[in-house]
A and B are shown apart, each in its own frame.
Chain A
Amino acid sequence: MSDLMNESPLGVYVEHLKKGQLAYQVCKDNNKAFFYPRAIAPETGSENIEWRVSKGLGTVYTTTVVYYKGEAPLNVAMIDMDEGYRLMSRVEGIAAMDVKIGMRVKFRVNPGDEKTLPFPVFTPAGDAK
C-alpha cells in the first residue's frame, strides 16, 4: 500500500542510490517493470508494487550530445535496462560523440552535491551480457 504520509517514490529511490543501488518498481498485478517511481502503477492503477534493485546493465536506445558554451560536449542518452524499463541518463568515461546506439552500458552512482540529489550515470560495459 502506498503511504505518502511516510515515504515518497522519489524518496525511496534516492535512499537506494545513496547505497549505490539503482532501484525500480514492478507492478505485481501485470508483472511489468516501470520507471520513473510512482505511488500508483501505470495502466493497472494498482498499489501492489514491488521495489527491486537493478543488475545495472542496459543498452543505449538513443543519444545526443549537448553543446553548452565554454563547456566540454555533454552526452545525454536514453538507456533501456535489461529488466525492461527505460531512463534518461548519460554515458561517461568516453567522448560524448563516441556513445553509440546499441552500446552496452553499466550503472554507477553520481553522488550529486548540496544542491543535487544523487543520480544514476553509466559507463561502457563492453560486451557484458
Chain B
Amino acid sequence: MSGLKRGSIAVVGAAESDLGQVAQHTSPVDLMAQATMRALDDCGLKLKDVDGLFVAATQVRMGPMSLAEYLRIKPKVFDGTQIGGSSFMTHVAHAQMAIQLGLCEVAVIAYGSTQRSVSRAAASPREFNPYESPYRPILPISAYAMAAARHMHQYGTTREHLAEVAVAARQWALLNPKAWEKEALTIEQVLNARMVSYPFTVRDCCLVVDGGGAIVLTSAAKAKTLKKKPVYVLGVGETLSHANISSLPDFTVTGAAVSGPQAFRMAGVTQKDVKMLSLYDAFTINPILFLEDLGFCPKGEGGRFVSGGAIAPGGKLAVNTSGGGLSYCHPGMYGLLVMIEAIRQVRGECGERQVKNCDVSLAHGNGGVLSSQCTVIFGSENTL
C-alpha cells in the first residue's frame, strides 16, 4: 500500500441501519439509504456533499448504481468491489486512494441485507462448483469447520476453546443494547447445541439477521471542521488468497498474516498499541486464527490464548466488544459493522462496554471462505 499516507483521511460519520428483523418487503437498498442518512447526520454533512460511493451486497448485484439511483446522487467516484464480508475494508483503502488524489472529497461506504427476512438461500445463493458442490458441504460453514478441524489436529485446539469465543462474544453483547442476543450463554450450551458441521454447533456460527450500515470518510483537513472528533485511518492492508476453500494451501494460516503486517507497517504502530480488536467472527475459529495471524499470539496458541475469558469483558484483550457476528448482528456481509464498532471505541461512544483510553483500534475483515482478508487500523487525533 505504498502511496497511501497514514492519517490522510478520517471516518467522520458512522451508523447502523435498523437491525434484526425488519418489516416485510423492506429492501436491502432501503437499509443502505437509511444508514447513509444516519451516518451523514452523525457528522453534519448533507447528501449533496457525497461525491464518492462504495457499495457491495449479495442481494444487489450492482450496488453503487442501485444506491445512487435510490438517493438520486451522481458520485464522481464509485466502486462496487465484491470480495465478501471484507469488501468494506477494501473500500476504505480505495476511498483513501480517491480522496488523497483529489478525485472525491466525501466518500460513503454502505451495505444492506434482508437475509433473515428472505432466507440465506435467497439472499446469498452459492455458485455451482463441479469440484465441490457434489459433496454437499454447507458453505460457508463447512469450509471454516475444516479449518477448525485442522487447527485442532495440528495445535491441540479444543471445542472448549472455540466455545470460549462464543461465550466471550455473548458477554460483550449483553453490554450492547443493539445486540440481537439478550440471554447469557455457557460453554456447555455451546458444546451441546445442535451440531451443524463438525466441530461447529449452531452456537459456533454467526447470526442470520437483517441489517446494514454506512460510514462517511473525508480528508483529514475537512474532517477537523465537522461535528465529531475524527477517527483517522492509520493503516490499511488487503489480500486475496483463494476463492474456493479447496485452494487454500494451509488451512491454519489466513491472509491476515499478509494484510496485518501491511496495515501495521503503514500505521507505524505495533500490537501493543492496539487497545481493541474488531475481528470478523463469522465462526468461532475466526478470532483464533486472526489473533495468531495478526501477531497477538504465536501461531497455534490462539485457542489457549482465548481461554479463561481472556477476550471477554474484563479479560486481557478487548475483542469484539459489540458482541460480534456471533451475538450482536450478522447481516450476511458483516465487515462494515466490524469497522463501526472499532470506530465507536476510538470515539469513546460505547457506554458500558467502552474500552478505556482506546486511542488505537483494529478492524479485521474476512470474506468468502477465509478468502479475502483486509485490515484497517484506526486512531484518534493524539495518535497522529
Contacts and interface: CB of A to CB of B under 8 A. Distances in A.
B149 A66 contact: no
Given A66-B197, A76-B137, A88 B132 contact: yes
B296 interface: no
A70 B194 CA distance: 13
Given A36-B246, A87-B131, A87-B246, A67 B197 contact: yes
For the complex of A and B, 4 pairs with smallest distance between CB atoms: A62-B150, A65-B198, A64-B145, A119-B134
A64 to B, nearest CB: 4
A104 interface: no
Given A76-B136, A87-B246, A97-B198, A62 B153 contact: yes
Given A87-B246, A88-B246, A61 B150 contact: yes
A12 interface: no
Contacts of B269: none
Contacts of A61: 150, 251
30 contacts: A35-B131, A62-B153, A63-B146, A64-B137, A64-B142, A64-B145, A64-B146, A64-B149, A64-B199, A65-B195, A65-B197, A66-B136, A66-B197, A67-B196, A67-B197, A74-B136, A76-B142, A76-B146, A76-B197, A78-B246, A78-B251, A87-B131, A88-B132, A88-B135, A88-B137, A90-B135, A101-B149, A117-B130, A117-B134, A119-B130
Interface string B300-323: 000000000000000000000000
Contacts of B150: 61-62, 101
A108 interface: no
- Residue in B138, B142, B246 with the greatest tally of chain A CB atoms within 10 Å: B246
A27 B167 CA distance: 48
- Residue in A61, A64, A86, A102 with the greatest tally of chain B CB atoms within 10 Å: A64
Contacts of B340: none
Contacts of A65: 195, 197-198
A116 interface: yes
A33 to B, nearest CB: 14
Interface in A51-86: 61-68, 74, 76-78, 86
Given A64-B146, A66-B136, A86-B246, 18 more contacts: A35-B131, A36-B131, A62-B149, A62-B251, A64-B145, A64-B197, A65-B195, A66-B142, A66-B196, A67-B195, A67-B196, A68-B136, A74-B136, A87-B131, A88-B131, A88-B135, A97-B198, A112-B134
Nearest to A69: B194
A117 B153 CA distance: 33
A13 to B, nearest CB: 8
A123 interface: no
B245 interface: yes
Interface string B146-173: 1101100100000000000000000000
A88 B130 contact: no
A125 interface: no
A89 B197 contact: no
Contacts, number: 75
* Secondary structure of the A contact surface, majority rule: strand
Contacts of A87: 131, 246
Nearest to B200: A64
B76 to A, nearest CB: 36
- Residue in B149, B194, B251 with the greatest tally of chain A CB atoms within 10 Å: B149
Contacts of B147: 62
- Residue in B147, B153, B199 with the greatest tally of chain A CB atoms within 10 Å: B153
Contacts of A119: 130, 134-135
- Residue in A97, A101, A102 with the greatest tally of chain B CB atoms within 10 Å: A101
Contacts of B195: 65, 67
A8 to B, nearest CB: 11
A15 to B, nearest CB: 13
A101 B252 CA distance: 14
Contacts of A112: 134
Contacts of A62: 146-147, 149-150, 153, 251
A86 B150 CA distance: 15
Contacts of B138: 66, 68
A37 to B, nearest CB: 9
A96 to B, nearest CB: 8
A102 B150 CA distance: 10
Nearest to A65: B198
- Residue in B130, B131, B135 with the greatest tally of chain A CB atoms within 10 Å: B135
